Structure 1
């Protein structure tokens, strides 16, 4: 019996489905079952799936549409193998993806959820390197969803023991909610290597429902915040969501408010038994704040890099709040 099942939920995914299935079948780790659940598609997804003869593929057709939470959860419940690997219908795996994750999970029994970094393809391109360790992810989840759904592998045993399931109440951010709930039951980890190609296009759920998704995302952000600060005021919640988590620093005064908020979070974290290691929280919050402040500096002083703008920035004294390394980088680019 294979130890791994790959779960691919499909709904009207014909456009990219062949590429996705091929990327799974071409894994260098070959010993897996491949469960494809067709959620009552109305396009030719079924025809594409049935064109494959690979014996690893197990096909299941839902008589009625269960939705983007119900259909994957049905698959998670049916799967009985040691590991469950998720992939979405428009994304791709690099060939060694599954092999590297299974090796890591086999070597680290305390880790119950493993993701990877990703590259963006399609309408937007780039690379997203996610926080790696459990403690780094705790800080990262204060800001957003820093694991990629089509990259994750679950250890089935911890899902059974914890009873964790995707929550319909968090539709559009149910993965983000799942990740922070996993923190209560297991260690989580992101392999610091790009092993997934994550497709960006206008018809995907996060593009179509962006405003609604942000509302649910903010609910999860606040739940994560309340693990280190159980009773923030409404004003503090608003600042955390609109300025701190979004890194929307538009003035030096905003940055000073972020420093004060960081000190509040550190104090509350201490009062609540150091949910996040003190050293990690301090270092990572500084990193996020500096990144936000650099965006402000670039937008205000360096829309066009020049020696004149560099001197204007130097005379403003706004440079005092940016690290020496970041300042030297800005001035160096002005000189070139």
Structure 2
């Protein structure tokens, strides 16, 4: 390993946990390269891959780095199973999550680690997202509520923490049972359980990940399943707490499930993406 990529002894270890299945031959290596290029170098990169016609090990074989732990399961499991296996292998106090097609900004880990250092009570930290297309072209931004109270209120309507950029305290997540398979959107369910347990949330105001939208991405292929799971999570975790506006949103989401997926994805982009970087104030 080169000297420039050597972990700093002054940096506490952070575990990167990623589930991989049917990785894109161009995007997946780009993602791993962006993690290896972090300004924060003391990383443990745990890749849990389920078998498919594509083998991610071959795609990143050229990235020889002893920080990478790449495990390929013998049989297809599920994303919650993959992530829980990764959490079980992780040894750091903080876990940085990521998806196999989203690019990390070079300062992502350093920025989030500093936030946890400054606020010992913080448990879950996300950020704004920069949106890119299949070829990496900039499309816009997606903003989220920044402060804890606003995030907790938003949980009744949608998932206000983006899994591809989240960092959290591993021990607290494991104490709640980790990721569950009760819902298709396992991260939204986890944030709801953490919120009910009193965990503190925040979102960093600047984009720390480039969130890729492309034809093979789950954002495109499982859209209606995502909508259905979103509704079930809200009705399960916030039964009796939903306001009239929350119920109206659920009705609108049920209506979207009957529309063409391409239209719903387009509408989602129009309603949630902005062309300009949101103000950090």
Q: Which of the pair is proportionally richer in strand?
A: 2
Whole-Å Cα distance in 2 between the matches of residues 241 and 180 of structure 1?
17
What is aligned with 1:314?
Answer: none
What is aligned with 2:187?
Answer: 175
What is aligned with 1:74?
Answer: 85
Whole-Å Cα distance in 1 between the matches of residues 146 and 225 of structure 2?
28
Within the alignment, does 1:134 sit opposite 2:148 as a pair? yes
Within the alignment, does 1:63 sit opposite 2:111 as a pair? no
Task: Structure 1: state its 5+ residue gaps.
Answer: 249-294, 296-336
Structure 1 residues 7, 109: CA separation in 2 closer, same or farther (over 3 Å shift)?
same
Alpha-carbon RMSD across the aligned residues, in angstroms, is 2.5
Q: Which of the pair is proportionally richer in helix?
A: 1
Residues 127 and 165 in structure 2, CA contact (< 8 A), matched pair in contact too: yes
Deviation at 1:236, TM superposition (A): 8.7
Instruction: Name the SS for the 2:76 alignment partner.
Output: coil
TM-score, scaled relative to structure 1: 0.66
What is aligned with 1:146?
Answer: 160
Whole-Å Cα distance in 1 between the matches of residues 201 and 246 of structure 2?
26
Structure 1 residues 191, 241: CA separation in 2 closer, same or farther (over 3 Å shift)?
same
Instruction: Name the SS for the 1:125 alignment partner.
Output: strand
Structure 1 residues 237, 107: CA separation in 2 closer, same or farther (over 3 Å shift)?
closer
What is aligned with 1:242?
Answer: 251
Within the alignment, does 1:10 sit opposite 2:20 as a pair? yes
Instruction: Name the SS for the 1:228 alignment partner.
Output: coil
Instruction: Name the SS for the 2:196 alignment partner.
Output: coil
Within the alignment, does 1:201 sit opposite 2:214 as a pair? yes
TM-score, scaled relative to structure 2: 0.78
What is aligned with 1:45?
Answer: 56
| Runs of 4+ residues deviating >4 angstroms | 235-238
What is aligned with 1:159?
Answer: 173
**Which of structures 1 and 2 has the bigger CA Rg?**
1
**Larger deviation: 1-10 or 76-85?**
1-10
Deviation at 1:222, TM superposition (A): 2.6
Deviation at 1:41, TM superposition (A): 3.2
Deviation at 1:12, TM superposition (A): 1.4
What is aligned with 1:30?
Answer: 41
Instruction: Name the SS for the 1:50 alignment partner.
Output: coil
Task: Structure 2: state its 5+ residue gaps.
Answer: 1-8, 257-270, 272-281
Whole-Å Cα distance in 2 between the matches of residues 132 and 77 of structure 1?
29
Residues 29 and 98 in structure 1, CA contact (< 8 A), matched pair in contact too: yes
